[in-house]
Amino acid sequence: MRMHLLVEHVLRTAEEQGLWLPHDTIIVAVSGGPDSVALLHIMHEISQHHMPLNLICAHVHHGFRVESDEEALLVENLAASLGIPFVMEAIDVPAYMKESGKGTQEAARDKRYEFLIKTAVNYDARSIALAHHADDQAETVLLHLLRGSGPSGLVGMKFNRTIKNVELIRPLLRIYKTDLIDVCESESLVYAIDPSNLQTKYRRNEIRLDILPYLGQYNGQITQGLNQLSSVMTAEDDYVEQATEKVYHELVRKVDERFTFSVSSFSGIHVALQRRLIKLILNYMSVDSELTDYNKIETLRDGISQKAPSTWSRDLGGGFVCIREYDVVTFQPKPLMQRVRYTYQLNAVVPELMVSEIGKILRMVVHLREQTSWSPLKGHEAVFDSDLLSFPLTLRCRQDGDTMKVMGLNGSKKVKDILMDDKIPPSLRAHIPMILDGNNQIIWIPGIRRSIHAPVSQHTTSILHMSLEDA
């Protein structure tokens, strides 16, 4: 393929994918191989004759091979011949491998991107142009398929992706390597050959050198087929992502670092959206992608979808947790396991008592019965015969073993069982106070139950009205 045809192809791709705008500064990553050499020439041709772009040639000196010095010089001379500024950095991959425990390929990739992003920031560049091509895409899709990836993995590499406020762009993603080598040969472009690309000890090389040729015996168009799969999955993945965003805004309530939704609303959406919604929330929480594989997400989905009311907590790793409390599911940072403890003693009726530990205010008013006309009481209100109450009253947190003589029931019942029967989420139970009389008997659990003590009757002359409200 001739240079002008590749340039036209890249221009169409750039316009379709929105890869750049006039006068953008673009860092072009050039290793010295035929792919990146062709990329630099194509970008230079575009910047000179089609759209004004400011190009910076960036090269990483890995220092792994004796040829590294020659490759660095080759790229530097290439940039000079085109009048493009050249930036290089030598990176110590072995030291980073020892520090991080990562393998050669992953460690080199990390340090390479670190340098490219730093260079982009230094030059105030909008993007970094990478030389990944259609054969790389096919290898990526197959690699993800072998790892058991879902639809998002079958998308492969995207034309543009933002990382640390810098766009990674791949203008050659629809061009095959043979076309890039052909243009290098036809234009007499000098490039280097990396012999490590022929070593099958690396998984990607193994896919390129062994697995794809083997599959090619059954489908001579295997590389093109994998690229078509990527293209189809890109569109469908985008569609499902948009649907998931819509569902997220309809179902999920975010308060601070807590993401909450109801089990009933979750159960009403398609299984595909259930999985995506969980992944989206975990992404918003910045949970490490290694902690969100299929099995973990499916385990969460199954637990959330259980029809029988249940409460459970699942550690997501990385300091995050998912909690189900009956019909409410919450994703949040792991809470500190510390019970709030407080005790307030009231020797007489007080208009207001601020309970700062739980963000509530207790209000108390005494009325003469004949001067009072009552509307139905709300859940946070209760009335008592003030003459039958023994003071001092105590407002305190719940304690182990608490019991209460519930109005309408014979005998006493454990407060723990009362809260469970009413399906009060465990995370809220610590915020529900107990109010006791002077005989140390629980007379009221605000919003939950009232005891048999000091009931208002036809003989009552004065009524104590209490309410517990948000501060």
Annotated binding site: 31-36
Structure tokens at 260: 């909450």
Residues whose CB falls within 8 Å of the CB of residue 329, separated by 6 or more in sequence, listed in order:
260, 261, 262, 263, 266, 304, 322, 323
Q: What are phi and psi of 26, to 5 degrees?
A: -125, 125
Q: Is 61 exposed, middle or buried (0-12, 13-18, 19+ CB in 10 A)?
A: middle
Distance CA 405, CA 453 (A): 8
The structure tokens 């993401």 sit at 259
How far is residue 406 from each of residues 207, 395, 411, 444, 453, measured CA to CA in Å?
Answer: 70, 18, 8, 9, 9
Q: Is 349 exposed, middle or buried (0-12, 13-18, 19+ CB in 10 A)?
A: middle
Distance CA 340, CA 463 (A): 31
Instruction: Count helices and strands (H / E) in the chain.
Output: 16, 22
Q: How many CB atoms lie within 10 A of CB 112?
A: 18
Distance CA 295, CA 446 (A): 42
How far is residue 57 from each of residues 64, 70, 82, measured CA to CA in Å?
Answer: 21, 16, 10
Residues placed in the known binding site for ATP:
31-36
Q: Is 415 in contact with 406 (CB distance < 8 Å)?
A: no
Q: Is 463 exposed, middle or buried (0-12, 13-18, 19+ CB in 10 A)?
A: buried
Within 3-133, where are the H helices? 3-17, 34-49, 68-82, 93-100, 104-122
